[in-house]
A and B are shown apart, each in its own frame.
Chain A
Amino acid sequence: MLIRHTNKIAESEVTPLEVYVNRRTLMKGLVGLGFASAAMPAAALMQPETTDLPLYPGPAWLQPRLKTAPTTIVAKDDVAPYEACITHNNFYEFGTGKRDPYERAQDFNTDPWKVEVSGEVESPGTYNLEDLLAKVDLEERIYRLRCVEAWSMVIPWVGFELGKLIKQLNPTSRAKYVEFVTLEDPDQMPGQKGLFSSLDWPYIEGLRMDEAMHPLTLMAVGLYGNALPPQNGAPFRLVVPWKYGFKSVKSIVAIRFRETMPENTWRMTAPGEYGFYANVNPGVDHPRWSQATERRLPSGLFRPTILDTEMFNGYGEEVAGLYAGMDLKKWF
């Protein structure tokens, strides 16, 4: 069964620009607060600003929850335009070009969706995404995303704290790591058929248990107040804002609690270039390019937005404690 969640809506139906601008002003009022002290009203959800592009309202069971999610964390930087966010993606399952996922993922079937929970956990099983989401509250969080390729964007996710779900799944005391697996389905994901790709499928990623339980670690199901577009990892993806983007694995079909450190796809491909931790760190360059600065997209052509990359992508205050005593040059 193929369900498309894309549709185009008329100019008159969308939020008037004035309201949108007011919302942006409202958001900017939170500059520097990081964690907003009180949840924002639901109306503060970031909305797409243009209408020529597909919108992704999501399955009926999810829509009302997306619309009522309060905004809880707001990065101080300007949010990326909707177009940039949904047309510039590294999702190699759909091709290696930045625009490939947007062009090739529109028919990707993401509802119904099942997630297998296994390993060192007391509630293993295969869950409908809908049932998993029934266990948690949704919220909007605006995070910086820093790609290992030295560009970055600010993105308004809707999702929930991974830790809150993990608690309900009851991992055993032997669970030290969490492994995540992306769907492998070459019929739907043309990039998995590629002859000249060095990546092994399915894409896997992992976190240490304390990283997975950290309150900043998000599982996203929405973007710009709507559902996640397929090219952004629908219907269910990880978002770890202090790590390089490749850690934030997309379209997750399995969550495994493990006693030993899981592999991760990029580290398997090039262990000298990509580590397990992959914390954003301006002091540790990628062997082939510098990580000291980043280009914030969208970046003006003649005045490119070049920013100094911050340790832990600027989330050091919250997460540096996780790595106390660790040599982050060694554990890059």
Chain B
Amino acid sequence: MVLTQRLAALRWGWLLQWWLVFLSALIPLVLLLNAGVNNQLGADPAKTIVDELGTWAMNFLWLTLAITPARRLLGWRKPLLFRRMIGLYAFFYALLHLLAVATFILGWRADLIVREVSERPYVIAGFVAFLMLIPLAVTSTRGWQARLGRRWLSLHRLVYPISILALLHLVWLIRASYAEAILYSLLLAFLLGIRLHYFCNGRSK
């Protein structure tokens, strides 16, 4: 009797946490929509939306990469439970970013889309990063995880080149201010560097 009650409480606690994380990750999108409806996106709303969605795709990608170091360095195990969701949010914001570019900037004009994807190095870097995210999103389910077994882990190591391509995409866009790119670069250097450190020291766990 007491046991069932405790189990039920745990279940409710877990559900609450799940919804909290799930809804929090939607806040950037809600704020953006709200600003759009209230005409607060400036004189070039298309550019504001595209930049904002791209920034959040990167934020969630960096956050995904921070979960393992957080466990190793700080002993935080809870975020592990939400890694799949956060990774999927990175994909979700990247997808919206791409749709926003195609719709608001390029007006779905085929000639412009082909031109951008074939000629612009920063677009190619970003687009390839997105394409590589697709198999990760598709195989994020437990079913696929079981089906792929050990290969699942190898496949999901794609997140490292993806993050480097995303960073390149950002750096290539700089006109004069390096502040943002330096921040993302330092964070990524730390997040990948710590993995390299553990790898070289042969500590698998």
Contacts and interface: CB of A to CB of B under 8 A. Distances in A.
Nearest to B172: A288
A196 B105 contact: no
B110 interface: no
A170 interface: no
A293 interface: yes
B46 A299 contact: yes
Given A92-B176, A197-B177, A199-B176, A290 B44 contact: no
Contacts of A302: 103-104
Contact of A83 (B43, B107, B122): B43
Interface of A: 83-85, 87-88, 92, 96, 98-99, 149, 151, 194-199, 269, 285, 288-290, 292-293, 295, 297-299, 301-304, 306
A151 B44 contact: yes
Contacts, number: 76
B107 A306 contact: yes
8 contacts: A85-B43, A194-B177, A197-B177, A288-B120, A293-B112, A303-B107, A304-B104, A306-B107
B109 interface: yes
A98 B182 contact: no
B120 A289 contact: yes
Contact of B43 (A84, A96, A290, A301): A84
A290 B120 contact: yes
Given A92-B176, A304-B46, A304-B106, 8 more contacts: A98-B44, A98-B47, A199-B176, A288-B122, A288-B173, A289-B120, A295-B105, A304-B104
Which of A196, A197, A293 counts the most chain B CB atoms within 10 A?
A: A196
Contact of A301 (B46, B106, B182): B46
A301 B44 contact: no
A269 B176 contact: yes
A196 B172 CA distance: 16
A306 B112 contact: yes
Interface string B96-116: 000000011111010010011
A101 to B, nearest CB: 12
B42 interface: yes
A243 to B, nearest CB: 17
A288 B169 CA distance: 11
Residue among B42, B105, B173 having the largest count of chain A Cβ atoms under 10 Å: B42
B95 to A, nearest CB: 18
Given A196-B178, A293-B112, A99 B42 contact: yes
Contacts of A303: 107
Contacts of B179: 194-196
B161 interface: no
Contacts of B49: 301
Contacts of A196: 177-179, 182
A304 B121 CA distance: 23
Given A198-B178, A269-B176, A288-B121, A298 B43 contact: yes
B45 interface: yes
